């Protein structure tokens, strides 16, 4: 059984837990749920729902893979080769300057897999399921798949 | 088929391989095994069982996400916002000062999935399955799920 | 259903997408595909097929986990304890000096799991499936497993 989750990501972490818990509950079986992001700058991650922890992650990413701007303050990332658009083929007209987002992706996952027992996720007391948006606000479509034991 | 693995983590890497190999062997089928941690500061990771490599990882984590202490040597982490407990709601009385553990989690996974052929893990010559403890000694419960092909 | 993928990795990213897309297409069902690496210094990762982005990742890894050489230019890594071979037991005669490769592994995964709908991978517009080689050229064998919904 499979479901697409459509969301508008307006912050680093968007909590998907309730929607996935409901989907598994309707299903009612035991097995695994896999939540997959088909996007290259929107990941899936499990962590605590605590805003100061999320701020720690944001500062950590800013320090590990900073986004540089030019002195005039325009968004022009001069550190990442991926952003030298004039060297690339077949670049879409609306291509984003987001080399740093692609590097930040290395800290997260394309998907997470979680065990389900009789329709109930075994997620632990503090873990929640998040879409991690590494670009500014975007429309994203994730894929939630249920696999029977 | 599913099994809970209870362990007391008294070091960074605790080897779970033998227990999971036995469980898959009893099962005897082909498919996948998923080892999941429901904890936010205990991860799952596959790597070589070599103590100097584990020390390299420890030094790497110490450098990437250091744990700061106050000058008196008490464990008081002043670098992570997550540790400003007075700003948070609903904090348990025994809350740990572990903002750094949560950041270190970014280098590992909540679960690992490994192929099984006729009850035998295809894990490779050097790979072993570890619980990664990012806090001091704790009791942990991981979930090991077997999924038929 | 399962398949071994044999490859000679002569660069950081080797694209496996076409082979896995064909395998899933022959299968024709819905479920998940898991691509697993049994190697400790060859990972699996999903990202864009864009050479400048791959160069960004290479520079990032060089900066996060540098490989040091001795002044004579011989490959002798002095930074990683894992490379102090004289302290280790049971080291194979052809052991590589690759402590840095093991640390770089922390940024990638041992496996990736991708949803399949009627034999077609739901991979997204830009995502591709890569073997990530953290050592110099090697022969590698990855495992591709298909699991029915």
pLDDT digits (tens, 9 = 90+) for C10-56: 899 999 999 999 999 999 999 999 999 999 999 999 999 999 999 99
Average pLDDT over residues A102-130: 98
What residues of chain C lie within 8 A of the CB of A66, using their CB? none
Pick B71 or C55 by higher pLDDT: C55
pLDDT tens digits, residue range A35-69? 999 999 999 999 999 999 999 999 999 999 988 75
User: Is the per-residue pLDDT at A22 higher than 80?
Assistant: yes
Which of A107, A113, A115 minimises the CB distance to B106?
Answer: A107
Nearest CA in chain B to C84: B52
From the CA of C35, how many Å to the nearest CA of chain B?
9
What residues of chain B lie within 8 A of the CB of C34, using their CB? 32, 113, 115
CB pairs under 8 A between A and C: 82
User: Is the per-residue pLDDT at A147 higher than 60?
Assistant: yes
What residues of chain C lie within 8 A of the CB of B46, using their CB? 40, 110
Identify from C3, C33, C36 which residue to disrupt to test chain B contact, counting B C-beta atoms within 10 A and taking the largest count. Answer: C36
This prediction has a pTM of: 0.94
What residues of chain B lie within 8 A of the CB of C67, using their CB? none
User: Is the per-residue pLDDT at C70 higher than 60?
Assistant: no
Which of B40, B65, B87 minimises the CB distance to A47?
Answer: B40
Pick A77 or A12 by higher pLDDT: A12
User: Is the per-residue pLDDT at C78 higher than 80?
Assistant: no
Q: In Å, what is the CA distance from B118 to each residue of B24, C4, C36?
A: 9, 15, 17
From the CA of B38, how many Å to the nearest CA of chain A?
4
Q: Provide φ and ψ at B33, rounded to 5°.
A: -115, 135
User: Is the per-residue pLDDT at B24 higher than 80?
Assistant: yes
pLDDT the model gives residue C68: 73
Average pLDDT over residues B56-61: 95
Say if residues A110 and A14 touch (Cβ distance below 8 Å): no
Pick C10 or C141 by higher pLDDT: C141
Burial class (CB in 10 A: 0-12, 13-18, 19+), A63: exposed
Mean residue pLDDT of chain B comes to: 92
Nearest CA in chain B to A124: B38
Which of C40, C109, C147 minimises the CB distance to B127?
Answer: C40
Pick B73 or B88 by higher pLDDT: B88
Among A52-66, A128-142, B61-75, C130-144, the least confident range: B61-75
User: Is the per-residue pLDDT at A70 higher than 60?
Assistant: no
Work out the pLDDT band at C73, boundaries 50, 70, 90.
low
Chains that touch A (3 or more CB pairs under 8 A): B, C
pLDDT the model gives residue C84: 85
- How many helices (H) and strands (E) would you count in chain A? 3, 8
d(C-alpha C122, C-alpha C116), whole Å: 6
What residues of chain B lie within 8 A of the CB of C45, using their CB? none
Which of C103, C107, C145 minimises the CB distance to B32?
Answer: C145
Work out the pLDDT band at A89, boundaries 50, 70, 90.
confident
Work out the pLDDT band at A78, boundaries 50, 70, 90.
low
Say if residues A120 and B38 touch (Cβ distance below 8 Å): no
Among B124-138, C71-85, C88-102, the least confident range: C71-85
d(C-alpha A99, C-alpha A81), whole Å: 7
């Amino acid at each position: 059984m499979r479901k697409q989750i459509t969301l508008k990501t307006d912050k680093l972490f968007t909590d998907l837990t309730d929607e996935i818990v409901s989907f598994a509950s309707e299903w009612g079986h035991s097995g695994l749920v896999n939540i997959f992001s088909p996007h290259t700058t929107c990941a899936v991650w499990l962590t605590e729902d605590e805003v100061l922890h999320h701020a720690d992650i944001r500062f950590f990413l800013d320090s590990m893979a900073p986004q540089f701007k030019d002195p005039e303050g325009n968004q022009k990332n001069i550190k990442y080769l991926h952003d030298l658009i004039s060297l690339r083929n077949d670049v879409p007209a609306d291509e984003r300057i987001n080399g740093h987002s692609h590097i930040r992706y290395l800290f997260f996952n394309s998907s997470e897999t979680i065990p389900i027992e009789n329709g109930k996720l075994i997620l632990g007391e503090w873990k929640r399921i998040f879409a991690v948006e590494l670009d500014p606000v975007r429309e994203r479509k994730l894929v939630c798949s249920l696999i029977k034991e």
